[in-house]
A and B are shown apart, each in its own frame.
Chain A
C-alpha cells in the first residue's frame, strides 16, 4: 500500500519530536514515577497491602458490579445499536444524540442524580422499595451507576459495524429460506461478536476505574460497597502513598490486560470493517 522509500512529505522530525516529548512529559514520566515508587516498596509489604481483607473485599465488589454492568450493557448496547441502525421511527436522531449523554455529563452530577433517584424516597427507589429491593447504597446501586457510565461504549462500538455490514449474506440466507432468528444468530451475530466484546470490554475497563458517579450512590460501607478506586482515594487522604500505589498497581495490571485483550479483538474487528467498506 505505502512505499518504504524516504518520505516526500516534510515535517517528520518536527511532528515526531513534539509528539514524543509531550507524550514523555505528560504520560511516560508520570507513569514511570509510579514504577519507581513501587520499586521502593518491599515485596512483602506489597503483598500484605493488597491482601488486606478490606482491599480484597473492594476488588470483589468492583469486579462483580463491573461484570454485571458489562453483561447488561453488552445486551442493551447491542439492542440500542440495532434499533438505531435497522429501524426508522420518530425521534431516532434524538435517541442517537442521547447515547452520548454519559460522556458529556460530569460523573459527579450523574452520581448525585442517580443517588437521589434511587434512594428510598426517590422516584425509582420508592418503586423498587415496594418489592423490598434497595438500590442506592447497595451493590445494585454501584451496578446502576456503572451501566450509566458504560452504555455508550457498547453502542458506539457495535453501531459502525452494523452500518457497514454487507447485507448480501443475510439476504442470501433469507432467499434460501432461513428464519429471521436463524439469520440473526448464524449470520449476523458472528460478525457482530467482536464489536460487542470490544465495546463491552471497554465499558468493563471504564467501570472498574470509575469513581465520580459511584462514590455518591455506593454509600461506601467497608467490606460491602467500597470500590477499589475509593480505597486508593482514602489511602491518599491519609497520606499512605505506599498502600495507594500498591493497590493502584493491581488495578493498572488488570486494565492493561483488558486493553491487550481488546486490541486483539479490535484487530479482527478492523478487518470486518474494512471488508464491508471496500
Chain B
C-alpha cells in the first residue's frame, strides 16, 4: 500500500503470516498427513487390501449414488428457485430464502430425526409405504433423502447472488422482443450463472459425499447394504481396525483434495471471465 513500509509493519506482517501458517499446518495439514501415514502404516499390501475390500467398494458405490442423486436433484431445484427469487418481485421473498437455507442450520442428527419421524414406524406414512413395499428408514432411499436435505440450499445459494447482481434488464429486453422462457434461460441467463452453478455443484458434492450424522440416523448400518464410506470408516474405527479405517478415509481425502482443486480452478476462471 505504502512506499515507506516501516520495520514494525514488516514485523507485524510476518508475525501474522507466521501465526496463520502455524495454525493451518497444525489444524488442517497435520490431520491430512495423519490419515495418509496411518493408512500406509502396515505397507501398501494391507492398504490395497483395505481399499479393494468388498464392503469398501459397496460403500463407495452407495456414496457415489447418494451424491449423484443429491447433486442432480438440488441443481434442478436450485435453478428454479434462483429464477423465481431473483427475476420477480413478490411478498414473502425473505421468508422463502430463509426457509430454503434452513437445512444447513439444522444439526445433521436432527435432520435424520425428522425423516425418522416422517417415514418411521410410528408415522401414518409408514403403513402407506408398506403397502407398496417401499422401505425408507434403514435403507437406501432414507440415505438419499437425508443427503438431499443436508445439501438442499447449496446450489441456489451460489446462483442467487450472481443473478441478483446481474439484474433483470437483459431478460426483460429478450422477453419484450418475443423470446420464450427456455430461450431466455439458455441464451441469456445460463452464460451468466455457468461458473456459479459449477461452483455450487462442487460444494454440494463435497458435502454430500461426507455427510455423516443425518445418514447415520437413517442408515441402520448394514454392511454392504446401507453403509456409505463415512459410515464404513466409523465402523472400522470403532472395531479398532485402525489401518483399514484410515485407508478408507484416504479415499475420501483424495476426493476432498480433488474437490478443492476443482473449486480453486472454477473460482479463478469465474473471476477471470467476470
Seen from chain A, the residues whose Cβ lies within 8 Å of a Cβ on chain B are 2, 4, 7-12, 14-16, 18-19, 22-23, 26-31, 33-34, 37, 76, 79-80, 82-83, 87, 89, 93, 95-110, 112-114, 116-117, 122-124, 144, 147-148, 151, 167, 174, 180, 205, 208-212, 215-216, 229, 232-233, 236, 241, 244-245, 248, 251-252, 255-256, 258-259, 263
List of B residues within 8 angstroms of A16 by Cβ: 84, 88, 90
Question: How far does the alpha carbon of A16 sit from the alpha carbon of B83 in the complex, in Å?
Answer: 8
Residue with the highest number of chain A CB atoms closer than 10 Å, among B148, B185, B212, B237: B212
- Near A by CB (< 8 A), chain B positions 81-113 give 81, 83-85, 87-90, 96, 98-100, 102-103, 105-110, 112-113
List of B residues within 8 angstroms of A30 by Cβ: 114-115, 117-118, 149
List of A residues within 8 angstroms of B234 by Cβ: 108, 215-216
Instruction: Give the shortest distance, in Å, between A2 (CB) and chain B (any CB).
Output: 6
Binary contact readout B174-194 vs A (1 if CB under 8 angstroms, 0 otherwise): 011000110011000000000
- Near A by CB (< 8 A), chain B positions 55-103 give 76-77, 80-81, 83-85, 87-90, 96, 98-100, 102-103
Total interface residues on B, CB under 8 Å, equals 98
Main secondary structure of the interface of A (DSSP, over half): helix
List of B residues within 8 angstroms of A116 by Cβ: 34, 38, 242, 246
**B230 adjacent to A2 (CB under 8 Å):** no
How many residue pairs between the two chains, A and B, have CB atoms under 8 Å in the bound complex?
A: 273
Instruction: Give the shortest distance, in Å, between B3 (CB) and chain A (any CB).
Output: 12
List of B residues within 8 angstroms of A216 by Cβ: 234, 237
Known: A107-B230, A108-B233, A211-B213. A241 touches B116 (CB 8 A): yes
Closest to A112 in B: B237
**A248 adjacent to B110 (CB under 8 Å):** yes
Question: How far does the alpha carbon of A17 sit from the alpha carbon of B233 in the complex, in Å?
Answer: 40
**B107 adjacent to A82 (CB under 8 Å):** no
